[in-house]
A and B are shown apart, each in its own frame.
Chain A
Amino acid sequence: DVKVTQSSRYLVKRTGEKVFLECVQDMDHENMFWYRQDPGLGLRLIYFSYDVKMKEKGDIPEGYSVSREKKERFSLILESASTNQTSMYLCATGEGSYEQYFGPGTRLTVT
């Protein structure tokens, strides 16, 4: 079974703080993705990576950055958290054109 883990299930941060969300997968997948999910908007792609040290912007990259130093680990960074970044963050992995496997999600609240 593919296992995708995220560093926290729930996180509360203050406006302006730097926030790190980590995702680790154990299936040696090339592709990793970060999404945020908001009611009525569905899953929106923030960034994705198809190789170590490679990254591509998704649909809503503003206010975020990512890091992929090792194949199994993909980090999402909020440089200066804002209240409009309160959301559920989901990491996913996949191989080629096949399905994605999602982590359990991190519910981030920025106050």
Chain B
Amino acid sequence: GQNIDQPTEMTATEGAIVQINCTYQTSGFNGLFWYQQHAGEAPTFLSYNVLDGLEEKGRFSSFLSRSKGYSYLLLKELQMKDSASYLCAVKHNTGGFKTIFGAGTRLFVKA
């Protein structure tokens, strides 16, 4: 079967660091995506991890452990505009590269 778990909601303070975890169980794993989605808008791409380890991109970093079926998104120096939903998604290595999305984590950044 396929299952992706991430927390429903998180709250953090402006300027702080927050880590959003994602665990998955799936067959035919190709890679793991993180997307950001502001309320009422379409998801936008943040990161893609294929190999184990940490990928850093500015204030955002993403980590993957394939053997543990685990990923996290790390957001540093939080800003109010980071308040959004963060979607973890697993890409399959089948025809068409089907992607399965988690339900998303709503992050609230407070002053």
Contacts and interface: CB of A to CB of B under 8 A. Distances in A.
Contacts of A96: 97
Given A97-B31, A99-B45, A102-B43, A50 B95 contact: yes
Interface in A90-108: 90, 94, 96-105
Interface string A20-46: 000000000001010100001111110
Interface residues of A, number: 27
Contacts of B89: 43
A42 B48 contact: no
Contacts of A69: none
A58 B98 contact: yes
Interface of B: 8, 30-31, 33, 41-45, 48, 87, 89, 91, 93, 95-104
